[in-house]
Structure 1
Amino acid sequence: MLSNWKLLLEDRNRFFWVLQVAGWSGYALVHYIGSLMHEMRDIYALILLLGAYAGFLLTVPLRYLYRKIWDVSPWLLILIVLAASYLSAALWAVIDNATYWEIYKFGFTPDSKWFYFKNTIAKFYIMLSWSGLYFGIKYYQMLQDEKQKALVATSMAHQAQLKMLRYQLNPHFLFNTLNAISTLILVEENELANRMMSKLSLFLRFSLDNEPIKKIPLEREIDALMLYLDIEKVRFDDRLKVTLDIEEDVKQALVPSLFLQPLIENSVKYAIAKLEEGGEIIISAQRNDDDLVIVVADNGPGSTKPLDSLSTQGGVGLANTRERLQALYGRNYSFTLTANTPRGLRIEIRIPLEQVEQA
C-alpha cells in the first residue's frame, strides 16, 4: 500500500489527475449535501454535477498556462493568475447559467439583477482557491525535490569522505612489506617471500573488494586483520604475539571494513617495534547490552602524550578511525584510550550492535 502511494506521489501527472477528480467530486458532494432541503434536489444534483464537470474542464487549461508562466516575475505572475481565474470564473458562470436555463426553462428567475455578477464573483473565489492550491502543491513538490537533491549531495559527500578515510593506507606498511620481501629474496628465502607476497596480495584484494561505506561481519574483519598480522609476523618473527578473544555471539556483528587495521598498525609501530623482546597485541570483542565493545590493547611502552588528546592528535591511524566512526555513527559511539595494565595502551571502541540478517 505504501509503495503504491509512493509511486503515485512520484508520478506528478497522475497525482494531478487524482487530485483534480477528487477535488471536484468533493466540491459537488459538499454542495449537494447543502442542498438536501431543496425541493427539486434530484434536478439540482444534476446541475451541480454539470457545474463541477465544467469547473473540472476549465481548470485543466489553467494548469498548462501556469506551467508556461512559472518563471515570470512575481507581480506579473499574480496579475496573470488573477486575470486567468476571473476569465475562467466568468466562462464557468455563463455555462452554469446556460445549464440553469436549459434545465429549468422558464421556471428559473434570478433573485436580483446582480445575480450573474455575484455568481461570477463566487466562482472567481473558487478558481482563485484552485490556483492557490495548484501553486502551493507545486512549490511544496519543488521544496521536496530540493531537499532530496541536498540529501543526495550530502550522501555523496559523506561517501567520498568515508572512501578517502578508508583508502588512506599507510605507505610505510607497503614500503616495509615490499622491503622485507626484497630482503627475503636477496637471502634466498624464496618460499617465505612468496608466502608474504601471497598474504599481501590477499590483504590488498580484501581492501579493494570491500566498500568503505558498507559494513562487514566482525569475523571477516578479524580474518583481514590476521592477514595483515601474518605479514608483520614475517618481519618481527617471534617478537610479535597476537591474542584473540572474540565472543561467539558477536562474530556476525557488523563493523566498518578495516577500521581496526590502523589501530593494530599503531600498536605494531609504537609498541612491538620499540621492544627488543617484542610484545603482545590483544584483540577482544564482546556484547554489552545493545552495544558491541571492541578492545585493542598492547604491552608496549605506552604514550608520552596525554591520553585525553592522543585520539585526536596521535597520528593518522587514531584520527582516521575516530573520523570514520563519527561519519558512520554520529554521536552514537565512543572511542577511549587508557593506560593498559601493567603497561602499554588500551583502546576501547563502543558502537551499536548490528547483526547480519539471516537469509
Structure 2
Amino acid sequence: MLHNLDDKRHLQFWLLHTLGWIGFAVVHYLGSLVLEVRNAYFWVVMLDTFVGWLLTIPLRYIYQRAWYWHPLKMMLTVLLLATLVGVVWTIFKNHTYWEIYRHGFQPKSWSWVQLYLRNAQVSFYVILSWSGLYFGIKYYQTLQREKQKLLTATNRAHEAQLKMLRYQLNPHFLFNTLNAISTLVLTRENDTAEKMVTRLSDFLRYSLYKDPIKKVPLQQEISAARLYLEIEKVRFSERLKVTFEVSEDACQALVPSLILQPLIENAIKYAVATQVDGGHIAISAKKFGHDLLLEVADNGPGVPLDGGLPKSEHSGVGLVNTRERLAALYDHNFSLVLTHNEPQGLKVNIRIPYELDITE
C-alpha cells in the first residue's frame, strides 16, 4: 500500500511539474506577442522553458531532505538555491536571446547590466514560486496522508469495537442449552437432543460467521431469532409463547446482525423464566416512512422506567450492548426506547434508517 502511495505521489510530481512549466511557457509567449516579436521567439520560449524544467528537477530531491530540517535552515536553503538556479537560468536565457535570437547583437554595457539584473530577478521569483508551490503541495499531501492514517486507525478501532460488542454472547445461554441437551440425553430423548444440537450449531454458525461490520436482511435475523427461540422452547416448553408480525417490505431491510437476539434474551430472562406460567414474546417489524421500526414486547413484570430508560440494571447488559452497537453504526440517526406494555410487561422499540441491499 505504501509502495503504491509513493508511486502515486511520484506520478503527481511529474504531472504537476510538467503542467506548471507548460503554463509558464504559454503565459510567457502570450506576453511576448504584445511586443510584436517574430514567430521565431516561440522556440526561444520553448527552449528557456525546457531548461527551467530541467534545472528545477534536482530541487525536488534536495527539498525532500530539507523538508525535515529546522524551518529557518530550510528557508535559507530555499532562498540560496532559488538564487543559484535563477542565476544559471538567467545566463542561459540571455545567451539564447542575444546570441541566437538576436544573432549576437548586444545593447550598451549599462543597459546590458540593467536587463541582466531584471531578468535575474524574474528568474529568481519564478524559481521561488516553484519552490513555494512544491512545499505547499507537499504540505497538503502530508496533511491528507495523516488524515488518511487517522481515518484508517479510527475505522480499525470502530470495527474492533463492533466485533467486541457483537461477540458478547451470553454464556448463560450456552450453559443452559448444553445442560438441557445433557438432560435430554440422560432421559434418552435422543431425537429431541439431536434436534437441539443441530439448532444450536446453526445458531452459533450464524452468529460467529456473520461479519459484524456488514448489515444483513431482516429476514435472516428473523430466521436466527426463530432458531434461538426453538432452542429455548425445549427448555421452557409451553411456558414460552412467541408471535412474529413482520411486514413484507420490512423483510429485505438491512439491519445489524443479531440485533434482536439480546432483546429476546432479556425478555426470556426477565419475563418468561421468572414467571410460573411463563410468558409471551411478540416480535414485530414494519417500515414507517424512511425508517424501519423493530419491536420486542413481553408480558412479564416489567421494569421501572425513567424517560424511556430503565432505572436499574434489571434489564441486563443486552440493552447497553445494543445501544452501543447502534450508536457505532448509525451515529445519532437511531432511537432505542423502552415503554410499558399493556396490560403488563416491557416493550423495546428500535428505529433505524430503512436501507436495502442495492447490490442485489
Measured against the shorter chain, the TM-score band is over 0.9
Opposite residue 76 of structure 1, the aligned amino acid is K
Deviations 1:33-88 (A, max 9, x none): 11213232312222211111111110001111112332222211111111111110
Supply the distance in 1 between the matched residues of 2:47 and 2:195 (Cα, whole angstroms): 86
Question: What corresponds to 1:321 in structure 2?
Answer: 322
Aligned to 1:346: 347
Evaluate the alpha carbon distance shift between residue 73 and residue 320 of structure 1 in structure 2; reply closer, same or farther with a 3 A threshold. same
- Given residue 203 of structure 1, which amino acid in structure 2 is its aligned partner? F
> Secondary structure in 1 aligned to 2:113?
coil
- Deviations for 1:300-358, whole angstroms, at most 9, x for unmatched residues? 11114546332895321010001100000000001110000111101110000011225
Distance 1:192 1:137 in 2: 70
- What does 1:91-170 correspond to in 2, within 5 Å? 91-100=88-97, 101-109=99-107, 111-170=111-170
Runs of 4+ in structure 1 off by over 3 angstroms are: 7-10, 304-309, 311-314
Q: Which residue of 2 aligns with 1:55?
A: 52
CA distance in 1 between counterparts of 2:34 and 2:311 reads 79
Preserved contact between residue 254 and residue 354 of structure 2 (Cα < 8 Å): yes
Which residue identity is paired with 1:109? Answer: P
**What is the alpha-carbon distance in structure 1 between the residues aligned to residue 166 and residue 186 of structure 2?**
33
Q: Give the total of aligned pairs.
A: 353
3-state SS in 2 of match to 1:42: coil
**Distance of 2:321 and 2:174 partners within structure 1:** 18
Deviations 1:113-136 (A, max 9, x none): 222122112111110110010011
Instruction: Give 5+ residue unaligned stretches, structure 1.
Output: 1-6
Please identify, of 308-317 and 51-60, the stretch whose mean Cα deviation from structure 2 is larger: 308-317
> What is the CA–CA distance in structure 2 between the aligned matches of 1:290 and 1:304, rounded to whole Å?
31
Q: Per the alignment, do residues 279 and 10 of structure 1 end up closer, same or farther by CA in structure 2, a change over 3 Å counting?
A: farther
CA distance in 2, matches of 1:12, 1:312: 56
CA drift at 1:8: 10
**Is 2:12 the counterpart of 1:15?**
yes
Q: Do the aligned partners of 1:332 and 1:351 also contact (CA within 8 Å) in 2? A: yes
Percent identical among aligned pairs is 53
TM, length-normalised to structure 2: 0.94
2:92 is aligned with what amino acid? I
Q: Give runs of aligned pairs for residues 225-304 of structure 1, distance below 5 A.
A: 225-304=225-304
For 2:107 and 2:233, locate their aligned partners in 1 and report how far apart those are by CA, in whole Å. Answer: 104
Say which of 64, 86, 90 aligns to 1:89: 86
Q: TM-score, structure 1 length as denominator?
A: 0.94
Change in Cα spacing, 1:49 to 1:311, as seen in structure 2 (3 Å) is farther
Residue by residue over 1:143-165, the C-alpha shift from the partner in whole angstroms, topping out at 9 and shown as x without a partner, is: 10000000000000000000110
1:219-230 alignment to 2 at 5 Å?
219-230=219-230
Report the CA distance shift for 1:358/1:129 in structure 2 as closer, same or farther (over 3 A).
closer
Deviations 1:86-119 (A, max 9, x none): 1100000000011012221233426352221221
Report SS of the residue matched to 1:201: helix
Q: Which string of whole-angstrom CA distances, capped at 9 and with x for unpartnered residues, describes residues 183-239 of structure 1?
A: 111121121111111111111011111011111000000000111000000000011
Distance 1:311 1:245 in 2: 29
Contact 2:282 2:298 in 1 (8 A): yes
> 1:243-286, CA deviations, whole angstroms, 9 ceiling, x for partnerless residues?
00000111111000001100000000000112211211111100
Instruction: Indicate if the aligned counterparts of 1:312 and 1:318 stay in contact, CA closer than 8 A.
Output: no
Shift in Å at residue 140 of structure 1? 0.5
C-alpha change, 1:236 and 1:213, in structure 2 (3 Å) is same
Equivalent pair of 2:304/2:311 in contact (CA under 8 Å) = no
8 A Cα contact 2:286 2:292, kept in partner: yes
Distance 1:160 1:182 in 2: 35
Amino acid at match of 1:155: N
- Unaligned regions of 5+ residues in structure 2, if any? none
Is the CA contact 1:312–1:319 (under 8 Å) kept in the aligned structure 2? no
The Cα RMSD (Å) is 1.8
- Indicate if the aligned counterparts of 1:9 and 1:15 stay in contact, CA closer than 8 A: no
Partner of 1:4: none
